[in-house]
Amino acid sequence: MATSQVETVSTTADKAKLALAVAVVLGSLVGFYLLAKQGPIAQWGGLIAGLVLAVVVFMTSEPGKQFVAFGRDSWREVKKVVWPARREAMQMTAYVFAFVVVMALFLWLTDKTLEWVFYDLILGWKK
């Protein structure tokens, strides 16, 4: 039986930073609606500024740093992928379409054959 560890926020400072980030997001959403009379520029400016501040606060916490490290590692792995050439990708796409057409014809023929066997031969229902 395998057990998996779940990483949680451990320090009080990180918990406070995450709580502050959530509070800033909620505050910017509330501010967006409270600034409705000030015009759309004030509304969107306040919302975007609040969201940027929340991201900055989140990135200073340990989970934020781990998130950035994960993103860097993921990007490094994506760079290692050997992508197919255009010709190869087009050939594989054509193979998939051809297979789908063949399967559609097979299923249609199977359906019509079973329909003929059951309705015409066995039950005797003529259309």
Is 49 a domain residue?
yes
Q: How far apart are CA 101 and CA 94, in angstroms?
A: 11
Is 8 a domain residue?
no
**pLDDT for the residue 121:** 85
**pLDDT for the residue 45:** 95
Q: How far apart are CA 53 and CA 122, in angstroms?
A: 74
**pLDDT for the residue 106:** 98
Full domain range(s) for residue 89 = 84-127
45 and 104 share a domain? Answer: no
Q: What is the rounded (10 degree) CA torsion for 20, 25, 31, 36?
A: 180
Residue 90 has pLDDT above 80, yes or no: yes
117 and 103 share a domain? Answer: yes
Split into its structural domains, the chain has a count of 2
Per residue in 5-27, pLDDT tens? 656 556 888 999 999 999 999 99
52 and 88 share a domain? Answer: no
**108 vs 120, residue with greater confidence:** 108
Q: What is the rounded (10 degree) CA torsion for 105, 108, 114, 115?
A: -150
Q: How far apart are CA 60 and CA 103, in angstroms?
A: 54
Q: What's the mean per-residue pLDDT of the chain? A: 91
Mean per-residue pLDDT for 104-126?
A: 91
40 and 98 share a domain? Answer: no
In this prediction the pTM is 0.57
24, 57 contact by CB (below 8 A): yes
89 and 56 share a domain? Answer: no
18 and 76 share a domain? Answer: yes
Per residue in 42-78, pLDDT tens? 999 999 999 999 999 999 999 999 999 999 999 999 9
3-state secondary structure of 119: helix
Is 6 a domain residue?
no
